[in-house]
Amino acid sequence: MSDAQQIPYDVVNRETIHHLVHEFYAVVLKDDALGPYFINSLGSDLDNGKWHEHFHTLDDFWLLMMIGKPGYSGDPFPPHAFLGPIYIETFEQWLKLFNEKTREYFIPSIADKFYKKAEIMAEQFIENLGLNDEDDDD
């Protein structure tokens, strides 16, 4: 990006979200626990067409989550139902890396909001995938 915006960003828009999302998945791809899920679905080249489409979807998703901007009209869960064996720890690792990146790219109040939204979504995925079963009392 070559505009006046400085990191950490204090504004949420398509450009700052895209920067976060792109850098986050660059790290995710290199992560031993997370990388294989994404490589299986989208390949290892962030410049390919599938990744391009995924980034566009995620930019829309985060614009909706963060500032309520209409655009994302999908259901985030279904792709996560077909990832193969996946564990609570996998989601914890995703959240850890996401937390690190949001804090690097956004001021704390905005980073906090990103993280809260992501945590709620991860909890729903964990619930939907039945990964919580052993902790449930009923």
* Residues at the site binding ligand HEM, with contacts judged by CB under 6 A: 34, 37-38, 41-42, 54, 57-58, 61, 74, 76, 79-80, 83, 86, 90-91, 94, 118, 121-122
Q: Which is nearer to ligand HEM, 9 or 37 (CB)?
A: 37
Q: Which is nearer to ligand HEM, 5 or 104 (CB)?
A: 104
What are the counts of helices (DSSP H) followed by strands (DSSP E) for the chain?
Answer: 5, 0
Residue nearest to ligand HEM (CB): 74
Q: Which is nearer to ligand HEM, 29 or 42 (CB)?
A: 42
What is the smallest separation between the CB atom of 123 and ligand HEM, expressed in angstroms?
Answer: 9
Q: What percent of the chain is helix, strand and coil (3-state, nearest 5)? A: 65, 0, 35
Q: What angle do CA 93, 117, 128 make, to 5 degrees?
A: 70
105: number of Cβ within 10 Å: 20
- Identify whether the C-beta of residue 122 lies closer than 8 Å to the C-beta of residue 95: yes
Q: Which is nearer to ligand HEM, 5 or 129 (CB)?
A: 129
What is the smallest separation between the CB atom of 52 and ligand HEM, expressed in angstroms?
Answer: 11
What is the smallest separation between the CB atom of 5 and ligand HEM, expressed in angstroms?
Answer: 23
- Identify whether the C-beta of residue 88 lies closer than 8 Å to the C-beta of residue 126: yes
